[in-house]
Structure 1
Amino acid sequence: RIAIVLGRTAGGLTTGILQALIILFLGIMLGMSLPSIQGLILSLVFMILIATTFIGLGLAFASKMEDMSGFSLIMNFLIFPLFFLSGALYPLDQFPELIKILAYFNPLTYGVDGLRYCLIGTSAFSPLTDFAVLGVCCAAMLFLGAYLFETTEVN
């Protein structure tokens, strides 16, 4: 079963990275300044960590769900608040204090901040902090997804 989890993660990661690269390429075509080679490579690392984190989260939920429509409902219910709390649409320093505290517990916050640093050079946190928090969340979600998938009983 671990091979299935790794295969599913690799497949989702490939799709996510290709979509992100298309968006990045379109941004450059529309006038975004090209980041340095180091920034581009580091942004790929952050994209991989973000995608792997949320694929692991999806595997964790999917392994306990019996209904596919229930899975998509739960994931949308979870992903949209995480996206809105990430700082991708609004700067973190403009959030009210309670919302800012919630945003600090959101792994996507650190992924967005790391990408912002790599691509435009500004960030709210240190890039090492972004990388460390996202790396720990990525490992935890992959472990949780693999563990729950391993313990799932098939009827």
Structure 2
Amino acid sequence: MASIPAVAPRVQINPGTMIPSFSLWKREVVRFYRQRARVIGVILSPLLFWIVIGSGFGRSFRGGAGAGEHYLAFFFPGALTMIVLFTSIFTMMSVIEDRNEGFLLSVLVAPVSRSVIVLGKVLGGTTLAAVQGLIFLVFAPLIGVHFTLTSFLLIALTVFLVAFSLTALGFAIAWPMDSTQAFHAIINLFLVPLWMLSGSMFAVKDASKWLGYLMLINPLTYGTEAIRGLMYPEMAEPNFPVGMDLAILGGFALVMFAIAFALANRRTTRPSA
């Protein structure tokens, strides 16, 4: 009796996610830096805001800066946070633009996981926001701040975590939307309050009791606090150690990415052509 040849099981190998994610990441970076007006605006707007607020209203907010500390120095981490915030959130407007142009639909029908979109888009926005924020650090010597290698690396890590979490938040907001106008309306509703209640303009200890509670539940507060503590270790009065701030930021980043991932993988979400 002739033996039946064994049939090897068919193993379906899903396409990898790294190359497609890298392609989306590269597309985000290249598209942003081709729009020079956006690059200039992202840097100059917070720079002007830092100078005007720090110089013009320094006396009014003197209490938040601490004894002997000029308000320009106190406000610098807040201006840095503003750059990261605006770049992270508004970069994700490209999700809506890609949907309306039909590009997102072509990616969705490709034989790759939807996690590719989340990873590529979020990493692209994170890279842009983190780079823009770190570029702003070149102005730090003007206020007498000089970094050690350790402090610079910790600041870079903090900026990356803030950028990653906010980019994931922007992705989660933009994913179900078809209109950039609706995106702007929702962002403007809480974008500025989110930043103002992060300890950027005044410290938690100088806020009223109920406002202080809101600031403590704002994850962005811990990013601003960590940057300020690393820049001025002898002047800052942190609510938590830098390690705790980074742990909270890391947890917030994971939660935001998980939400973005879950939204992108909902099969009921149907982007328009």
TM-score tier, shorter chain, comes to over 0.9
The equivalences for 1:38-53 within 5 A come to 38-53=150-165
Q: CA RMSD in A?
A: 1.2
Whether the 8 Å CA contact 1:61–1:71 is kept in 2: the answer is yes
Alignment of 1:77-88 (within 5 A): 77-88=189-200
Structure 1 residue 80: deviation in Å? 0.8
Identity %: 29
When the two structures are aligned, how many residues end up with a matched partner?
154
What TM-score do you get using the length of structure 1 for normalisation? Answer: 0.94
Q: Does 1:143 align with 2:255?
A: no
Q: Gaps (5+ residues) in structure 1? A: none
Cα deviation per residue 1:29-56 (whole Å; 9 max; x = unaligned)?
A: x243212111100001100100011111
Task: Spell out the pairing of 1:7-18 with structure 2 (5 A cutoff).
Answer: 7-18=120-131
Higher relative contact order (CA 8 A, sep 6+): 1
2:174 is aligned, of 62, 66, 73, to 62
8 Å Cα contact 1:59/1:149 also seen in 2: no
CA contact (8 A) 1:53 1:139 kept: yes
Offset from partner CA, 1:54-83 (integer Å, 9 cap, x none)? 111111111122211111221122221110
The code of the aligned residue for 1:22 comes to I
Equivalent-residue separation in structure 1 for 2:158 and 2:213 (angstroms)? 22
Structure 2 Cα separation of the partners of residues 79 and 134 of structure 1: 18
CA distance in 2, matches of 1:5, 1:143: 10
TM-fit CA distance, 1:106? 0.5
- Indicate the residue corresponding to 1:90 in structure 2: 202
Alignment of 1:14-33 (within 5 A): 14-28=127-141, 30-33=142-145
- Please list the CA deviations of residues 103-129 of structure 1 after superposition, one character each: whole Å capped at 9, or x if unmatched: 111010000011111222122321122
What is the identity, as a one-letter code, of the residue corresponding to 1:130?
A: D
**Contact 1:59-1:145 within 8 A present in 2 as well:** yes
Question: 1:35 maps to what in 2?
Answer: 147
Q: What secondary structure sits across from 1:81 in the alignment?
A: helix
Amino acid at match of 2:248: V
1:3 aligns to 2:120 (yes or no): no
Determine which structure has more spread, i.e. the larger CA radius of gyration: 2
- What TM-score results when the alignment is normalised by the length of structure 2? 0.54
4+ aligned runs moved over 6 Å, structure 1 = none
Greater per-residue helix proportion: 1
Query: Contact 2:140–2:146 at 8 Å: present in 1 too?
Result: no
Equivalent-residue separation in structure 2 for 1:3 and 1:35 (angstroms): 36
Structure 1 letter corresponding to 2:140: G
Q: Provide the secondary structure at the position in 2 that maps to 1:64.
A: coil
CA distance in 2, matches of 1:126, 1:118: 10
